[in-house]
Amino acid sequence: MSEGPEERVDPRQLEGGLRRVVGRRTLLLFVIGDILGAGIYALVGKVSGEVGGAVWLPFLVAFVLAALTATAYAELVGKYPQAAGAALYVNRAFGVPFVTFVVAFAVMMSGVTSASAAARAFGGDYLAEFVSLPTLVGALAFLAVVTLVNLAGISESIKVNVALTLVEASGLLVIIVIGVFALVGGDGEPSRALEFHPGGGAFLGVVGGTALAFYALLGFEDSVNLAEEAKDPERDFPVALFGGLAVAVVIYGAVAFTATMLVDARTLQSSTGPLLEVVKVAGLDFPPKLFALIALLAVGNTALINMIMASRLVYGMARERIVPPPLGAVHPTRRTPWVAIAFTVALAVALVATGDVGGLADTTVLLLLCVFALVNVCVLVLRRERVEHRHFRAPTWMPVLGAASCLFLTLPITGRDGEVYLRALVLLAIGLVLWLVNRMVLRRTARSGATRPGRG
């Protein structure tokens, strides 16, 4: 659905914004590439621990819930095609600077926790195919490499990202091909993919599995940061968001079906490299070491994307004087926000040292579910504002149900450990400290400026 006159002029174009060069196909590929990553490579086993062999079910439910929130993003990015995402929508809806800051900081922290989960996954069974190291040592070494790439520069980072996106997609294609050959050859146990053995009951099992599976579908929301560079954001973003989610869930469903068809749930649950277990038992002769390398690169891509996003958000907030200005320092030769990078890496190191893959992934989901709930509310609040150009309009029941489902998934009923809530609160408390320190610095600067002219 749409609203407004047929002819429209985008005022941002007249004001000289970013160059609009991103078309619908590129947007779709960006969304798919942003969703695919460490989640499916690392969490199939964890989800299996919640529901048994029917791993595809939580992924399907997570897709439906993600699609509800995607309708909110589709409407808002078409209505306000600017590169700021959730923080922009919350600011327009409520106009409370501190709330806007909390949302932006939560998004930034979700990037750090996601990268930390990827680092723990990197240091597990996939890495063990090449070298025997304690998981923590492997994870920290991995973070060091990601940091060096991030410091090298955005151009170098993006080139690495594009290459790794192709690699991670090829790894999932390998698993799907293995599944096809297994079905044709009569290998495996397809009926096992229909077995439903939730530990805490059917409802709680699906809810717990969905909360974890949601992590694998995150990334669609990042695409709204390309709003100012899209050729026709009002028309293209709905197609890219819904199309990207649909492609991802089909791939995930096929991968999950193959995994449980070939490997029993207990083995998947106990492995930090569940898809490697699939390759090892497959009738198709594919070198486990090669697949482990693909998985490591896929996990690396997830961490790189999130650390780039997190460091740039900190940098942007520092430049806007929302957090202490020193966090906005730029390296004199590489022109990268080195202090912001160091800050986010320090947080990631602390998280890697104190959490596991499942807990860190769940923290990421918890933070973003809170943000998503607010975004869904923003759609309804901002219906009072009219714009002159046409844009996608979500049926009202979808953002209402989206907000309710996001809030429900934040509750302890999902089986989420108390340490996940504590970790999220500590991370947000760090943001509160930065906010207060910055406020005090700004007040002192203002007072100093007000008294200086009267001296001498």
pLDDT digits (tens, 9 = 90+) for 419-428: 999 999 999 9
**CA separation (Å) from 142 to 69, 146, 169, 383?**
33, 6, 21, 45
For residues 240 and 24, the answer to whether their CB atoms sit within 8 Å is yes
**CA separation (Å) from 210 to 48, 158, 293, 415?**
11, 31, 28, 11
CA atoms in the 13 A half-sphere facing the CB of 443 = 6
CA distance 218 to 198: 24
**CA separation (Å) from 398 to 61, 72, 74, 389, 403?**
15, 8, 12, 22, 9
Q: What is the dihedral of CA 226, 227, 229, 234, to 10 degrees?
A: 140
Query: Distance between terminal CA atoms of the chain?
Result: 67
Q: What pLDDT score was predicted for residue 4?
A: 41
Q: What pLDDT digit, counting tens, does each position of 11-56 carry? A: 444 344 445 666 777 778 778 877 887 788 888 888 888 887 788 8
Average pLDDT over residues 293-304: 84
Q: What pLDDT digit, counting tens, does each position of 32-44 carry? A: 877 887 788 888 8
Question: Any residues with CB less than 8 A from the CB of 451 and at least 6 apart, and which?
Answer: none
Question: pLDDT at residue 156 above 80?
Answer: no
Average pLDDT over residues 244-267: 89
For residues 328 and 320, the answer to whether their CB atoms sit within 8 Å is no
Residue type, 347: L
Q: Which residue has the tokens 């798919």?
A: 32
Q: Cα-flanking dihedrals φ and ψ of residue 453, to 5°?
A: -60, -25
Question: pLDDT at residue 9 above 60?
Answer: no
At residue 351's C-alpha, the angle toward residues 275 and 416, to 5°, is 70
Q: What pLDDT score was predicted for residue 71?
A: 93
CA distance 89 to 382: 8
CA atoms in the 13 A half-sphere facing the CB of 230 = 26
Question: pLDDT at residue 352 above 70?
Answer: yes
| Paired strand residues for 22 | 230
CA distance 439 to 287: 56
Domains of the chain are 20-446 (1.20.1740.10)
Q: What pLDDT score was predicted for residue 391?
A: 82
Q: How confident is the model at residue 220 (pLDDT cuts 50, 70, 90)?
A: confident
Q: What pLDDT score was predicted for residue 449?
A: 64
Which tokens hold the place of 34? Answer: 């942003």
CA distance 305 to 303: 6
SS3 22: strand
Q: What pLDDT score was predicted for residue 83?
A: 61
Q: What pLDDT digit, counting tens, does each position of 308-329 carry? A: 878 877 887 787 778 888 888 8
Q: Could you tell me which residue, 42 or 375, shows the higher pLDDT?
A: 375
CA distance 38 to 334: 28
- Of 94-103, 143-152, 167-176, 347-356, give the lowest mean pLDDT range: 143-152
Q: Which residue has the tokens 């030769």?
A: 333
Average pLDDT over residues 197-218: 81
Q: Cα-flanking dihedrals φ and ψ of residue 230, to 5°?
A: -85, 140
| Per-position DSSP letters for 305-333, written without gaps between them | HHHHHHHHHHHHHHHTTSS-GGGG---TT
**CA separation (Å) from 417 to 205, 233, 412, 423, 447?**
14, 39, 8, 10, 46
Which tokens hold the place of 286? Answer: 């594919």
**How much is the mean pLDDT over the chain?**
83
Which tokens hold the place of 404? Answer: 């309710």
Q: Is 415 exposed, middle or buried (0-12, 13-18, 19+ CB in 10 A)?
A: middle
Which tokens hold the place of 148? Answer: 């060096």
CA distance 455 to 452: 6
Q: How confident is the model at residue 408 (pLDDT cuts 50, 70, 90)?
A: very high
Q: What pLDDT score was predicted for residue 100?
A: 87
Q: How confident is the model at residue 232 (pLDDT cuts 50, 70, 90)?
A: confident
Q: How confident is the model at residue 270 (pLDDT cuts 50, 70, 90)?
A: confident
CA distance 240 to 236: 6
Q: How confident is the model at residue 84 (pLDDT cuts 50, 70, 90)?
A: low
CA distance 317 to 85: 14
Residue 392's closest CA among 106, 78, 30? 78
For residues 105 and 428, the answer to whether their CB atoms sit within 8 Å is yes
What is the C-alpha R_g of the chain? 22
For residues 321 and 139, the answer to whether their CB atoms sit within 8 Å is no
CA distance 152 to 334: 6
Count CB-CB contacts under 10 A for residue 145: 13
- Of 139-153, 193-207, 244-258, 345-359, give the lowest mean pLDDT range: 193-207
- Of 240-244, 392-396, 414-418, give the lowest mean pLDDT range: 414-418
For residues 78 and 237, the answer to whether their CB atoms sit within 8 Å is yes
Q: Which residue has the tokens 């209402």?
A: 400
Q: Could you tell me which residue, 293 or 335, shows the higher pLDDT?
A: 293
Q: What pLDDT score was predicted for residue 227?
A: 66
Q: What pLDDT score was predicted for residue 406?
A: 94
CA atoms in the 13 A half-sphere facing the CB of 341 = 24
Question: pLDDT at residue 124 above 90?
Answer: no
Average pLDDT over residues 123-132: 88
